Amino acid sequence: MATRHKDRLSAVDASFLAQEGRASHMHVGAVLIFEGPPPAYEELVAGVESRLHLVPRYRQKLAFPRFEMGRPMWVDDPRLNIAYHVRHTALPAPGSIEELRLLAGRIFSQRLDRSKPLWEMWLVEGLSDNRFALITKTHHAMVDGVSGVDLATVLFDLSPVPQTVEPSEPWVPEPEPSATELVADGVKGIAKAPFGLAERALGALRDPAGTVRELREAAEGVGEVVWAGLNPAPETPLNVPIGPHRRVRWVQNRLDDFKEIKNSLGGTVNDVVLTVVTGALRRWLRLRGVRTEGLELRALVPVSIRAEHEHHQLGNRIAAMRGPLPVYCEDPVNCLERVREAMQGLKESKQALGAEVIAGLEDFAPPTLLAQASRLNFSTRLFNVIVTNVPGPQFPLYLLGRELQELIPIAFLPENHALAIAIMSYNGRLDFGLLADYDAMPDLDDLALYLEDSLVELLGQARMGAKATKRPEATEQTPSAP
């Protein structure tokens, strides 16, 4: 008998649904480029179907209780059709990278159908140099970038020999719940809230000192979030009304270059990433005629608050921190130092804790209040651009015997945000995926070039600094000849 999988959306997941609009799509994904000839479409569909039991959420759709009695629920889709979700297309000859980018932009321009499981995968043939691509698209309410489990993850093998992964028994979907059952489940969830509060109260009685300390820290954290909310981000050409259409671009880098910079100049790889983004945005703003003296942008930097035992679980466990991008800095080394100090200060602050507390309070809110709370907690006025950096595997992955060569992550555009930057490392690479509004950023190619220039400039400074601080090696004195 199949295991029943029916869950209410968490407050964070439901907030991603509440944030979605006609022009702001809340799906994320990737462009994956493989070497070798593409598999047959039927072979890919069979491979996906054989592994769906490892991610049961991908066989579920949303069900909405009437009268907003509780948050939406994930329920089995009895009409699941894999061929609807796994799609097949080809690039026009000669199959250039530019054609692949245009296709990705068109795919990411269209919202996912909420009456079906919220994911798509496109097999793209015709890429030059004997390659093919997959383009994946999944709603952010289903999975975050740091949970460790999504469909692409379970499709990959660690060797060129495909592994056989079959379910122990055939999947039998649960019947769809009736409207009455959905309302009853929603009421049940609301009714459980006092018991959750009571359990916390009992815990407080058992450890009053620890509870007081946690409450004090939580209050300070919420205070920091509120203070950040009272200080909106500056107005820039990045923050304008957007439409539904998208541009996609990516920039390829070596992970070792970023490590070399942080080893020479200090900080973390993420500090270096934010500094490179800062340098590129400074150049781009000047291209747009914006004065950058005294201007500091804010990046929304997602942070995982997933506990160790919660890894490899679907659903979002993230909080958002607002990190500075000091575009007023002319000197890249000075810029890195300012970014490093600011990010260290954020990590030591309680901003992420405050966001987590707010998310926890939303668990007890009805959907109408949840929608308002999510907009406050994720207010688009508070940041200029999303910059998300996810570490990936540093070894090759394979799909049906074909090696994955490039992994380009794609984020999402909130309302009034023309650009989002996603970064992911894979097998020695660190690639930037740029998603932009089609009309607001016709100069996206210029920004991509500025990212390359910014990295080269910072890497040059790191190598100059390394040479300046390198001590000459002592040489052994050789006796003179008799």
Quick: pLDDT tens for 36-65: 999 999 999 999 999 998 888 899 999 887
Looking at the structure, do residues 215 and 333 belong to the same domain, yes or no? yes
| Total tally of structural domains belonging to the chain | 2
Which of 138, 165, 192 lies at the terminal end of a domain, its last residue? 165
CATH value at residue 86: 3.30.559.10
pLDDT tens profile 152-179: 878 999 999 988 887 778 888 888 776 6
Establish if 87 belongs to a structural domain: yes
Task: Name the most confidently modeled range: 70-84, 148-162, 307-321.
Answer: 70-84
Has 311 been annotated as catalytic?
Answer: no
Looking at the structure, do residues 156 and 274 belong to the same domain, yes or no? no
Establish if 229 belongs to a structural domain: yes
219 phi, psi to nearest 5 deg = -65, -40
Which of 107, 137, 165 lies at the terminal end of a domain, its last residue? 165
Establish whether the linkage from the previous residue to 72 is cis, with ω within 30° of 0: no
Looking at the structure, do residues 114 and 219 belong to the same domain, yes or no? no
Looking at the structure, do residues 225 and 134 belong to the same domain, yes or no? no
What six digits make up the tokens of 287?
A: 């291209």
- For residue 323, the surrounding DSSP H or E stretch is strand 318-325
Is 80 exceeded by the pLDDT of residue 311?
A: no
Is 90 exceeded by the pLDDT of residue 240?
A: yes
Distance in angstroms (rounded) separating the CA atoms of residues 456 and 13: 39
DSSP letter (8 states) at residue 315: B
Its pTM stands at 0.81
Q: Which domain holds residue 20?
A: 7-165
CA angle 389–274–99, rounded 5-degree value: 60
Establish if 346 belongs to a structural domain: yes
Identify the band that residue 18 occupies on the pLDDT scale cut at 50, 70 and 90: confident
What pLDDT score does 314 carry?
47
CB atoms within 10 A of CB 275: 30
What six digits make up the tokens of 469?
A: 């601080």
Looking at the structure, do residues 151 and 215 belong to the same domain, yes or no? no
What pLDDT score does 14 carry?
78
Looking at the structure, do residues 279 and 146 belong to the same domain, yes or no? no
* Least confident segment among 67-81, 276-290, 398-412: 67-81
Distance in angstroms (rounded) separating the CA atoms of residues 183 and 187: 6
Four-CA torsion 47, 50, 51, 53, nearest 10 degrees: 160
Establish if 51 belongs to a structural domain: yes
Identify the band that residue 221 occupies on the pLDDT scale cut at 50, 70 and 90: very low
Which of 112, 132, 165 lies at the terminal end of a domain, its last residue? 165
Distance in angstroms (rounded) separating the CA atoms of residues 63 and 196: 24
Is 60 exceeded by the pLDDT of residue 75?
A: yes
Question: Would you give the distance in Å from CA 24 to the centre of its chain?
Answer: 15
Distance in angstroms (rounded) separating the CA atoms of residues 468 and 213: 48
Looking at the structure, do residues 231 and 372 belong to the same domain, yes or no? yes
Looking at the structure, do residues 347 and 220 belong to the same domain, yes or no? yes
pLDDT tens profile 95-143: 999 999 999 999 999 999 999 999 999 999 999 999 999 999 999 888 7
Establish if 145 belongs to a structural domain: yes
Is 60 exceeded by the pLDDT of residue 216?
A: no
CATH value at residue 255: 3.30.559.30
Looking at the structure, do residues 15 and 130 belong to the same domain, yes or no? yes
- List the end-to-end C-alpha distance of the chain, in Å, as a whole number: 94
What pLDDT score does 223 carry?
52
Establish if 404 belongs to a structural domain: no
Establish if 33 belongs to a structural domain: yes
Establish if 449 belongs to a structural domain: yes
What pLDDT score does 206 carry?
54
Average pLDDT over residues 379-386: 84
Which residue of the set 53, 85, 140, 417 is catalytic?
A: 140
Percent of the chain with pLDDT over 90: 54
What pLDDT score does 363 carry?
45
